[in-house]
Amino acid sequence: SSELTQDPAVSVALGQTVRITCQGDSLRSYYASWYQQKPGQAPVLVIYGKNNRPSGIPDRFSGSSSGNTASLTITGAQAEDEADYYCNSRDSSGNLGVFGTGTKVTVL
């Protein structure tokens, strides 16, 4: 079982704001990175570090962290943001490489 827990699914109205959370003890010490995956496609990095976006990722995507919870916020969700989102960080021993359980985002 994953050491990073995410809500299985969330929905958001077009143009509204949605926050996706990732909980785990390791997040008290380490940053999470966030990945978007659309059906039949490879994951794409959307947020890394404290709150950094790779080139080409819209600024409606942002990241934050508090205590044992990391969050990905989509401000003004668009239809093309409908996808699965995964967080990634270290495990409780500090080893790299654990993914969250994933959150399916539906844009209504």
Partner 1 sequence: QVTLKESGPVLVKPTETLTLTCTVSGFSLSNARMGVSWIRQPPGKALEWLAHIFSNDEKSYSTSLKSRLTISKDTSKSQVVLTMTNMDPVDTATYYCARILGQWDYEVYILYYYMDVWGKGTTVTVSS
Query: Minimum distance from CB of 78 to partner 1 (Å)?
Result: 22
CA-wise closest residue to 65 among 76, 77, 49: 49
Q: Which of 10, 44, 57, 64 binds partner 1 (CB under 8 A)?
A: 44
Contact between 7 and partner 1 (CB under 8 A)? no
Among 35, 71, 105, 107, binds partner 1 (CB under 8 A): 35
**CA angle centred on 52, ends 19 and 22, rounded to 5°:** 35
* Sites for partner 1 among residues 88-107 (CB under 8 A): 88, 91, 95-102
**Rounded Cα–Cα distance for residues 47 and 70 (Å):** 11
Other C-beta atoms lying within 10 Å of the C-beta of residue 10? 16
The contact set with partner 1 (CB under 8 A) reads 2, 30-31, 33, 35, 37, 42-45, 48-50, 54, 86, 88, 91, 95-102
